[in-house]
Amino acid sequence: MKYAYFPGCSIHTTAQEYGISSKAVSKVLGIELIEIPEWNCCGAMDAVYAYNPLLSISLSARNLALAESMKMDVVTLCSACFFTLSRANKLLHEDSELKGKVDKLLNDSGLQYTGGVKVRHYLDVLLNDVGLENISKNVKVKLDGLKVAPYYGCMLIRPPNIVNFDDPEHPHSMDKIIEAIGGKNVDYIYKTQCCGASLGLTEQEVMMEMTKDLLLEAKKANADCIALPCPLCHLNMDAKQKTIESAFDIKIGMPVVFFTQLMGVAFGLSPKELALNKNCVPTKKLFSQIHA
């Protein structure tokens, strides 16, 4: 199983755990993620689009053009990149005037995109190409009903006419994977509620109010950890957890891991291989709990 891999900016920086653990898990499952050479920023959804819509779409289009020459499906880890590339793909298909404009810009730089690329999220590959049975087969360490709060966030599942992957209101893709590796999903009512995304950088108070509810609810549901598929959500829930604790004078102490890190633990990989030491909220206790 080979895929044109689009990491996205944060995989090499703020969400290294995600990239490292996903590569490790892919090795176990026989997935080959071939990084698209010379990829650029995906188009950053709203961050770039608000300033220059054409730039945002063209950024996406360049990546799609590079991927097309590889003749493989594009797979992303980051939900925001997944959304941005999918949306650009859709807009280019629907708006022939826009496509014409972008085509000219690409051609002037020696690139070409005919529209043949399919954009997929890593979860999609795991569920539909690898299959739950194969995932279960590779489990070496019993998670023994570890209580996980599956947090999906926004861009992976909404809106269905752009991403078309899982149910936008009651998603189950990550739930299934967690069960397949021996975990237990708690009844997490806020699994699709927005964490605040880029507001974390510009309007921290708003983001904290939104993220605090997500963390407290996971705690109330007795989860041992939160699992998620998005670098920006991870930043808000993990790196900023201490800030939230002090801002509201509450204690949370909830480990926030990428779901691939949990998969890696179940596959018997070491904390180093899964970059578990890079999570800001300590995961040592979580790891030892599993191996106890």
Partner 1 sequence: MAKQEPKIGVYICRCGCDIEGNISATVDVEKVKEAAASINGVKVAEVYEYVCSNPGQQMIRDGIKEQGLNRIVVAACSPRMHLETFKRNVNQEGLNPYLLEIANIREQCSWIHDDKKLATFKAVDLVGRAVERARNLKPLEEKKVKVNRDALVIGGGIAGINASVELADKGYQVYLVEKGPSIGGHMAQLGKTFPTLDCSSCVITPKMVYVAQHPLIKIFSLSEVTKVDGSPGNFKITIKKRPRYVDASKCTACGECSKKCPVTAKSEFEVGLGSRKAIYQPFRQAVPSAYSIDKVNCLYFTKGVCKVCQKFCKANAVDFMQQEETVELNVGAIVVSTGYEVLDPQGVKQYSYGLNPDIVTHLQFERLLVQGLRRPSTGEQPKKIAFILCVGSRMNETAVENDYCEYCCNIGCMNAIKEAYVFQKEVPDAEPWVFYTDIRAHGKGYEEFYARLRNHGVRFIRGRAAEVMPYNGHLRVRAADTLLGMPIEEDFDMVVLSSGLVPSPGTDNVARMIGIHTGSDGFILERHHKLRPVDTQREGVYACGCALGPKDIRETITESMAVASQVATFLGKGEVPVSAEVAMVDEKKCNGCEECLKICPARAVEKIPSTFRTRMEINPMSCIGCGICVPICPTGAIDLNHSSEEQLMAQVRGVEMKEDVSPKIVAFIEKNTAYASADLAGQTRAHYGPNIRIISVPSTGRVGFKHLLQAFVAGADGVVFVEGEDSSFTGEKLREHVTRLKKDLQAVGVESLRLVSTTITIPQYPKLVDTFEVFTNRVSKIGPLSPKVRSEVGEKLKKLEAGESK
Partner 2 sequence: MNQQQILPRPKHAITSEMMDKSFLADVIKMRGGQNVLDCIQCGVCAGSCHASWAMDFTPMQIVRMLHLGMKEKVLSSSTIWICASCYTCATRCPRGIDIPLLMSALKNMAIKEKFPAKIPVKPRFHKTFADIVQKYGRIHEPELFLKITNKTDFKGMMQNAKLGWTLLRKGKLKMKAPKVNKKDQWSTLFKNIAKEEGV
Binding positions for partner 1, rule: CB under 8 A: 158-161, 167-170, 189
User: Closer CB to partner 2, residue 94 or residue 133?
Assistant: 94
User: How far apart are the C-alpha atoms of 290 and 235, rounded to whole Å?
Assistant: 24
Choose the one of partner 1, partner 2, none that binds residue 167, judging by a C-beta under 5 to 8 angstroms depending on kind: partner 1
User: Closer CB to partner 2, residue 150 or residue 171?
Assistant: 171
Could you please report the per-residue DSSP string of 36-95?
PTT------HHHHHTT-HHHHHHHHHHHHHHHHTTTS-EEES-HHHHHHHHHHHHHHHH-
Instruction: Please answer whether residues 127 and 81 qualify as being in contact, where contact means their C-beta atoms are separated by less than 8 angstroms.
Output: no
- Does position 38 bind partner 2 by CB under 8 A? yes
User: Closer CB to partner 2, residue 138 or residue 243?
Assistant: 243
> Binding partner 2 by CB under 8 A: which of 2, 30, 53, 164?
53
Choose the one of partner 1, partner 2, none that binds residue 14, judging by a C-beta under 5 to 8 angstroms depending on kind: partner 2
SS3 state at 279: coil
Going across the sheet that includes 147-150, the strands are 184-185, 147-150, 225-228, 256-258
Tell me the β-bridge partners of 148.
185, 225
User: Closer CB to partner 1, residue 158 or residue 234?
Assistant: 158
- Does position 160 bind partner 2 by CB under 8 A? yes
CA distances from 136 to 70, 176, 207, 267, 288 (A): 31, 11, 36, 9, 21
Choose the one of partner 1, partner 2, none that binds residue 144, judging by a C-beta under 5 to 8 angstroms depending on kind: none
**Footprint of partner 2 on 69-128 (CB under 8 A):** 91, 95, 101, 105-106, 108-111
Comparing C-alpha atoms, which of 158, 164, 283, 170 is closest to residue 230? 158
Instruction: Please answer whether residues 137 and 130 qualify as being in contact, where contact means their C-beta atoms are separated by less than 8 angstroms.
Output: no
Instruction: Give the side-chain half-sphere CA count within 13 A for 213.
Output: 13
# chain residues binding partner 2, by CB under 8 A:
64
What minimum distance in Å lies between the beta carbon of 211 and partner 1? 18
User: How far apart are the C-alpha atoms of 175 and 231, rounded to whole Å?
Assistant: 19
**Footprint of partner 2 on 164-203 (CB under 8 A):** 168-169, 192-194, 196-199, 201-203
Which residues form the interface with partner 2 (CB under 8 A)?
9, 12-16, 37-41, 44-55, 58-59, 62, 91, 95, 101, 105-106, 108-111, 154-155, 158-160, 168-169, 192-194, 196-199, 201-204, 206, 209-210, 239-240, 242-243, 277-280
